[in-house]
Amino acid sequence: MKVAERLRSIPPYVFAQIDKVKEELLKQGKDLVDLGIGDPDQPTPANVIDSMIEAVKNPATHRYPPYEGDKSFREAMAERYAQRFGVQLDPQREVMTLIGSKEGISHLIWAFVGPGDVALVPDPAYPVYYIQTLLAGGEPYPMPLKEENGFVPDLESIPKSVVEKAKIMFVNYPNNPTAAVTDLAFFEKAVAFAKKNDIVLVHDAAYVEMTYDGYVAPSILQVPGAKEVAVECYSLSKPFNMTGWRIGAAVGNSDILYKGLGIVKTNTDSGQFRAIQWAGATALRDHPDSFIAKMNEIYKARRDVMVEGLKKLGFQVKAPLGSFYIWLRVPEGFNSASFTKHLLEKCQIVVVPGTAYGKCGEGFVRIALTVDCDRLEEAIRRMSAV
């Protein structure tokens, strides 16, 4: 069997590899503390589950949904943006349902990137930006996220020859994997840069609801004029514990959505199951802030346990203001891969090496706060014993 040439340039998907390692160790009877993939361990809200059960019983949900998404879900998303960000969206023109934001990000790349085109991609970053650009025949250009710059890219340092070929740019705050946050001032710079250079600007807002210590993450669409060049991918996966449901939305510039993304989607998928969209509308409308606040309290407690424990072990680490990750610099004498291996073999702790997210991730590992405080304390205990 000979696969398509495009697959030859694609590295193995790191999280699938981690799953294989975990599966093998579990077969050996190992007690793993899994701080790897960012998959919430808490259940989906009960009201959302109840809504889904009722929706499944309704024959209206059993047929194909509209390609752009069910009207009720798109209206609920527009209402959420008005309430949460003060951003007005036309649900008919500026909101499109996604089968999870990963799907939307991938298809946005296919809509705007072809051979010879450049995608401006943060480094380190969610691997899908880079890999989908390669699959589309484009060239991913890494924008380094450096600790000394607050893990924010220096847009002015991108060579003119690269900018001239750039068709799309990705930003992501609160950030995966670094847990960095930003403010509207950076988004204003990004919007101005995209306008000046005729670049589609995509903000991956998967963690926009996950913030702590009084910090409130903005939407890029709060920048005046952002809708001229930008779309934002909002996901229900992390704030509502719905990773397996695969539901989100792309919002913003109508041409990017309906003359770009929508054309790819209508020729690739037939939309998300309408019952899931109805349940998603319930999540967005039925007291979302109280549920999100409860979840953020849980993650804050976990963050504090892990940060304090790591400090006692001698690590220099700050409590992040967003996401549910800790971006940890590895100890002297290790690199990302060797420290990941050390934690796995000596402590039975699963983390992700920073290099899984790009070359600039070297020297770090990502810790996901997706287990309870007792297990985090156990991880610290194991680390202190070796």
pLDDT the model gives residue 220: 98
pLDDT score for 144:
98
Q: Whose CA is closest to 210, among 176, 260, 249, 159? A: 176
Residues of the chain with pLDDT under 50: none
pLDDT per residue over 170-229, tens digit each? 999 999 999 999 999 999 999 999 999 999 999 999 999 999 999 999 999 999 999 999
Dihedral sign (CA 130, 218, 250, 228) = negative
Q: Which of the four CATH numbers 3.30.70.20, 3.30.1330.10, 3.40.640.10, 3.40.50.2020 does domain 46-286 have?
A: 3.40.640.10
Residues 344-358 as b/e (b if ≥16 CB within 10 A, e otherwise) read beebbbbbbbbbbbb
Same fold, 5-43+289-384 and 46-286: no
**Positive or negative torsion for Cα 34, 37, 38, 44:** negative
**CA-derived radius of gyration, the chain:** 21
Q: What is the pLDDT of residue 298?
A: 98
The angle, 0 to 180 degrees and rounded to 10, between the axes of the packed helices 373-384 and 288-312 is 10
Q: Where are the domains of the chain?
A: 5-43+289-384, 46-286
pLDDT at 104 (0 to 100): 98
Residue 95, φ and ψ in degrees, nearest 5: -135, 130
Question: Residue 14, CB half-sphere, CA atoms under 13 Å: how many?
Answer: 21
Domain 5-43+289-384 has CATH 3.40.50.2000: no
Residue 363 to residues 12, 18, 134, 339: CA-CA distances in angstroms?
21, 19, 25, 9
Q: At what angle do helices 288-312 and 274-285 cross, to 10 degrees?
A: 80
Two tokens, residue 327: 């971006």
Q: What is the pLDDT of residue 5?
A: 85
Helix (H) or strand (E) holding 80: helix 71-85
Q: Are 206 and 217 in contact (CB under 8 A)?
A: no
Token readout for 268 is: 């690739």
Whole-prediction pTM value?
A: 0.96
**CA 131, 136, 137, 138 torsion-angle sign:** negative
